[in-house]
Structure 1
Amino acid sequence: MSRVYLDWNATAPLRLEARAAMAEAFDVIGNPSSVHAEGRAAKMLLERSREEIAEALGASRADIVFTSGSTEAAALALEGQGLACAGVEHDCVRAWCEETLAADVQGRVTVPDPAHATLQMANSETGVIQDLPQGLAVSDMTQGFGKIPLAFDWMGVRAGFVSAHKLGGPRGIGALILAEGEDRPARLRGGGQEQGRRAGTENLAAIAGFAAAARAAQSDLAAGIAERLAEMRDHLLRRLEDHDGNTMFPGRESRRLPQTLSILTPGWKGETQVMQMDLAGFAVSAGSACSSGKVRSSGVLRAMGVAEQDAGCALRVSFGGTTTPEELDRFAEAWLSARARWQSKKGR
């Protein structure tokens, strides 16, 4: 049987709309900073794409600054800000912040001083969606954009950032979103691109693919994809649930992304599960994909109060619009068989 890809939170498959937009953009030969006709054509495509992404974000009054991805955008947003964050944040956020905020056992974070804090929209490992307070300094919107409705202009957040490949766009392109009146100094200097905030010729084909993916994701949301995926997630949870309470689902009592499920069976290493599922034909993850291919104990789960020895026993299943219920049922059967084998060996 064909392999089943269930690691969409690491990177989503490239949407056909994004592929087509990129192919068309490759024929636009000008540099957007050039003043001749070819340059103006490139500039027109660049700004049209910027407007389409802003529309998808609900950020009509915000500035969109293109970057190489969320990690660079996070650095632009956070460097020198001295903000507080929680241990459930992505490493690219925690690298710039002081971990003084606490998460509860369901992964929810309370922010007493929003003006001096950063808080993610949704967690990549557990899918837990946070309630973003008004006046929040920065939000990592990477996992939420395109998966749940959002309107940046109404959120009261001063800055946010996103990445195209999480919603079916190309890898290597992302954006910093700055609320009206908000600014950040450039980290890459040498040219006046991106309103002087990020030097370097813009990656026009990737930006066009990003815009196409954002449009397609918004269309999917309007058509009710989130509700359909949430039903599939909950069906999978019920199939995997171990009624003796051994297997847990971190964050299950919180509002979560519709297509993300964290599965934790104490004593059964996540790394082992990933390899067993890979051999069975399923691509899943033990957590964030940003650790140079290393499988390690989850800092997110530790921040939620999971014991060190158990935080390395989680498996993440994430899927999307082309995933079928039959594929999730096949995964459930393979995983349950593997768990039964592990329990049998453990009981010897």
Structure 2
Amino acid sequence: MAVTPISELNERARDVFRLVVESYLLTGQPVGSRTISRLPTLSLSPASIRNVMQDLEELGLLAAPHTSAGRMPTETGLRLFVDGMMQAAEPSVEERRAIEAGLAEGGPIEEALSAATAALSGLSACAGIVMVPKREPMLRQFGFVPLNDRQALAVLVGQDGSVENRVLDLPDGVTPSMLHEAANFMSARFGGLTLREANEALRRELEAERGALDGAARDLVARGIAIWSHDADDRPVLIVRGQSHLLDDGTAADLERVRLLLEQLESKQEILGLLQGALAGNATKIFIGSENKLFSLSGSSVIAAPYRGGDGRVVGVVGVIGPTRLNYARVIPMVDFTAQTLSRLMR
């Protein structure tokens, strides 16, 4: 159904429609004409309000779930409200601090993304989602720090100054001098390359210059590259946090919808397909209910915003998934702010 332009509603219809939607988003319950008539911002009788609500229902903007019940906005009505009537509220200082807190701790980028998504989830009472950028970091330096006879700490320093550590199991007979030799070899030969390029360069080195390193050092180099390559392949491309927020006190009568939503959140490949659409845009995208096929059965909404890397290009998407009864005016700016914060982190 085409969305009725806001300009086609007269002032009385706009006022009644806005109050019905705001009340529904606040309580999750259908709204009756008597409830609206008691609000101090509207000087209309219950009968007049019923007539307006009937007109709005005929336009497809409101619906009555039961004959004797009040009205609630349809998905079409929610779209009209979000696009044409909603007054967004900027995140508070406390909300901004909560989102930024996890990003100040350093460490792998995935940990920062997970922390920001968990904070967004908690503040919005939705499930938080973030698409992790497929990174090919440029390498600068390698190191091995012996921990004991059987293990060493493999240290990788990126061209961007990032430092990551992994524990590496050592073969028998490895000495500190071998660790030093292998680290120097890796830094000299693989600095300025990506892991993919380093893997290919290592293969060529071992084929063409087997005399450059002895057997034990060659094994160390191969293990060192392998642990980082395997780690990169295993990194998640989608992080979902806060599914438990969907099971609040108000879901007791809506358990089937929540069950469907939780099942859909397990379909990470399908969620990635949905978020791919947000990658192409420059602004926040809002999918309400059946506007996206994935969450149409559970009647859920998705709010997703792209974030950018150091070169200004979009590298990922962050957002929330929750019921269509969202506080859009609060959550949309919160998702926007999280995307902006992640963009600053990626610079």
TM-score grouping bracket, smaller chain normalisation:
under 0.3
TM-score (ref. length: structure 2): 0.21
Look at both structures and tell me which one has the larger radius of gyration over its CA atoms. Answer: 2
* Structure ranking higher in strand proportion: 2
Larger relative contact order (CA 8 Å, sep ≥ 6): 1
TM-score (ref. length: structure 1): 0.21
